[in-house]
Structure 1
Amino acid sequence: MGNQKMVVAILLILALPIVDLVLLFRVGKYIGFWRTLGLVFGTALLGVALLAVQGFGVYRKALNELGAGRIPKNQVIDGLLIVIGAVLILLPGPMADVAGFVLLFPLTRWPVRGAVLRWIEQYIYINI
């Protein structure tokens, strides 16, 4: 059963970029090459700006948590999700952009953070 999950995961990892590029070409066919190129660069620039703003905010919150003597677990997960979101936005394709923006905005990131924290608590034991 474990091998089947691994095969499915590998197939998804290989198929999603192909589907994303097909969608990008369809968008390009519909709105034109230059507008599509502008959309790709525009989302990349917006992603970099959001990375800077959100990343600095999470860094500041992590420092506050450390200063209060607490472990900044939410901020560490947020930081990781923000970096993943920024990388996804830098990749060309509408699906990657949507997933990246979901990870960059706090209101849409918190459910993902909750799922990641539950997964960590279920599979990883940390003795502090």
Structure 2
Amino acid sequence: MVALAFQGVMQYSPARDQAGCLSGASARVSLHNVFEGNILQLFLLFVVIPLVELFLLIRVGSIIGALNTVGIVVITAAIGAYYARSEGMSVVYRMQQLTARGELPTTELIDALMIFGGGALLLAPGCV
């Protein structure tokens, strides 16, 4: 079955009842169809967006100057790091309070994950 998956097509032949109707879930699963949308999204994420970022950084740099553009990127990263750290510490404090009371900090864990993701995006240079 693994060999078929690497060839690109897996087939499943379900049992049929007396009327010829399928008695279970059946499909001809094509890995190409399953991953087609994901590959396009990954292509946009890792190729198109960085190219747009680079283009905009060059445009902004040609308008306001290279030093000013680098300064804006560095200041944005510093502000993002500060806010991510302060919000992260707030979430850690709330998690400690809930844990001390014997409660599970489920919402706070999601908040921490979102703050981490937002901080990573703020630290990444770019205009988009």
1:49 to 2:82 alignment? yes
How do 1:43-82 residues align onto structure 2 when only pairs under 5 Å count?
A: 43-82=76-115
Consecutive unaligned residues of structure 2, counting only runs of 5 or more, are 1-32
Amino acid paired to 2:45: I
Distance, in Å, in 1 between the alignment partners of 2:40 and 2:59 is 26
Identity, in percent, stands at 32
Runs of 4 or more, structure 1, over 3 Å off, are none
Give the length in aligned residue pairs: 95
1:92 to 2:125 alignment? yes
TM-score (norm 2): 0.67
Bigger helix fraction: 1
CA contact 1:21–1:92 (8 Å) conserved in 2: no
Query: Is the radius of gyration larger for structure 1 or structure 2?
Result: 2
Match of 2:90, SS state, is helix
Amino acid paired to 1:3: F
Distance, in Å, in 2 between the alignment partners of 1:76 and 1:12 is 29
Structure 2 residue corresponding to 1:12, chosen from 44, 50, 74: 44
Bigger strand fraction: 2
